């Protein structure tokens, strides 16, 4: 497969860029933050996105999606990153729909995926339990009681928790923390008895939340896939999620960089444009080279998903680690090169560094993925 976008993909990218630049910009994110929006995104904008097919972009046509694949979704995420557009594209479309497609049986997929694709249902994954992403360290439990599962435990960093209709809770039905066997995925409806959802205020102003599950009973049919056997599908979903986040970070980093270069061309000190200083030029040029490299691995990783490769782990960790590194550098340099105005809330560049760090940490940061990349390379 050639590492270039086809005509259809270029059109998608351009139309997404146009839409987001109008409807979901950094200024909109600031409004959401300042209005203390609990859900962290604009429902009307999300409905418009869904009407354009974005919610079902990677969902197969037989389940009401567009069947455009993850390269298409990656383009939307990249454009979302450029504009810092807040929407459930990550929580519902990238992560939850993928996990349902991975684990669900035909009935479950037929019930859930079309509802996600139409924008009517919002679903999110409840996985993490501590401050770090360690996906096998799950102690939340689910025990069988007649024709129900009873879930106990607590979850953190649940994306868009306060507005989700349904949670996919990862819980142990057997084994101990660290085991691959024994992990199960259970659908829990918002408002279930014993479920407490609390919004957490995060640095990026997006809505992540915590769940407390105390004896939450769900019907046996809410088990997604096979009991104790969620790991393979979950692991693949996390790989896809990290590639999607890498695409978002690519757009975010490129936009932060472009704003910085523009600033270097307008800010004068010592009677000259600061962009004429070689000390800044070389740092900008190095960053440009890194961004071009980052673009390549993101596209390769997205295409690897769509090619149906069995093993995504290496390319996923490579893409996420590289984009964590580049996003960190791009946003740090953005603040430094903007100087004092870069530190002000009034200037928009600060929103980029904030979203970058949250996206970097979501489902494993640089340290997690570089370590995994080395292990997968045999050292």
Q: Which residues bind other proteins (CB under 8 A)?
A: 2-4, 261, 264-265, 272-273, 275-278, 280-282, 284-286, 288-289, 292-297, 299-300, 318, 321-322, 370-371, 373-375, 377-379
Nearer of residues 87 and 360 to other proteins, judged by Cβ: 360
Is the Cβ–Cβ distance between 187 and 180 less than 8 Å?
Answer: no
Nearer of residues 322 and 338 to other proteins, judged by Cβ: 322
Nearer of residues 209 and 244 to other proteins, judged by Cβ: 244
User: Within 13 Å of residue 9, how many CA atoms lie on the same side as its CB?
Assistant: 18
| CA–CA separation, 341 and 2 (whole Å) | 42
**Closest distance to other proteins from the beta carbon of 245 (Å):** 16
Is the Cβ–Cβ distance between 26 and 83 less than 8 Å?
Answer: yes
**Closest distance to other proteins from the beta carbon of 219 (Å):** 40
Q: Is the dihedral of CA 77, 79, 82, 87 positive or negative?
A: negative
| CA–CA separation, 59 and 193 (whole Å) | 31
Nearer of residues 156 and 277 to other proteins, judged by Cβ: 277
User: Within 13 Å of residue 329, how many CA atoms lie on the same side as its CB?
Assistant: 19
**Closest distance to other proteins from the beta carbon of 315 (Å):** 8
| CA–CA separation, 252 and 339 (whole Å) | 19
**Closest distance to other proteins from the beta carbon of 89 (Å):** 25
Q: Is the dihedral of CA 168, 169, 174, 175 positive or negative?
A: positive
Nearer of residues 173 and 242 to other proteins, judged by Cβ: 242
**Closest distance to other proteins from the beta carbon of 53 (Å):** 26
**Closest distance to other proteins from the beta carbon of 350 (Å):** 23
Q: Which two tokens stand for residue 245?
A: 């986040």
What beta strand segments (E) does the chain contain? 123-126, 141-145, 148-159, 166-172, 183-189, 195-201, 207-219, 223-224, 268-269, 272-273
Nearer of residues 3 and 193 to other proteins, judged by Cβ: 3
């Amino acid at each position: 497969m050639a590492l270039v976008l086809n005509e259809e993909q270029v059109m998608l990218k351009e139309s997404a860029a146009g839409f987001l630049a109008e409807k979901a910009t950094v200024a909109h994110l600031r409004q959401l933050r300042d209005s203390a929006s609990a859900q962290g995104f604009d429902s009307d904008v999300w409905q418009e996105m869904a009407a354009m097919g974005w919610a079902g972009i990677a969902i197969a046509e037989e389940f009401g999606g567009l069947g455009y694949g993850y390269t298409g979704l990656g383009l939307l995420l990249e454009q979302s990153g450029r504009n810092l557009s807040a929407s459930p594209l990550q929580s519902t479309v990238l992560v939850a729909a993928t996990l349902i497609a991975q684990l669900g049986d035909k009935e479950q997929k037929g019930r859930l995926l079309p509802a996600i694709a139409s924008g009517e249902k919002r679903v999110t994954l409840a996985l993490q339990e501590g401050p770090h992403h360690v996906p096998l360290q799950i102690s939340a439990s689910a025990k069988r009681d007649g024709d129900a599962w009873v879930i106990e435990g607590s979850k953190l960093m649940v994306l868009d928790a306060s507005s989700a209709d349904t949670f996919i809770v990862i819980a142990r039905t057997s084994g101990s923390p660290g085991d691959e066997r024994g992990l199960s995925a259970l659908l829990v409806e918002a408002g279930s008895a014993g479920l407490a959802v609390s919004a957490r205020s995060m640095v990026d102003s997006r809505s992540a939340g915590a769940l407390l599950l105390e004896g939450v009973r769900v019907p046996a049919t809410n088990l997604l896939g096979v009991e104790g056997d969620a790991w393979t599908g979950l692991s693949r979903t996390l790989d896809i999620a990290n590639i999607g986040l890498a695409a978002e970070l690519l757009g975010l980093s490129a936009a932060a960089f472009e704003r910085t270069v523009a600033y270097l061309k307008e800010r004068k000190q010592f009677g000259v444009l600061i962009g004429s200083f070689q000390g800044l030029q070389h740092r900008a040029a190095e960053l440009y080279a890194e961004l071009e490299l980052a673009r390549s691995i993101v596209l390769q990783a997205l295409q690897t998903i769509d090619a149906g490769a069995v093993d995504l782990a290496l390319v996923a960790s490579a893409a996420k680690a590289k984009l964590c590194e580049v996003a960190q550098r791009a946003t740090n340099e953005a603040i430094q090169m903007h100087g004092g105005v870069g530190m002000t809330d009034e200037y928009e560049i600060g929103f980029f560094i904030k979203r970058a760090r949250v996206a970097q940490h979501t489902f494993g940061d640089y340290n997690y993925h570089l370590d995994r990349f080395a292990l997968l390379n045999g050292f």
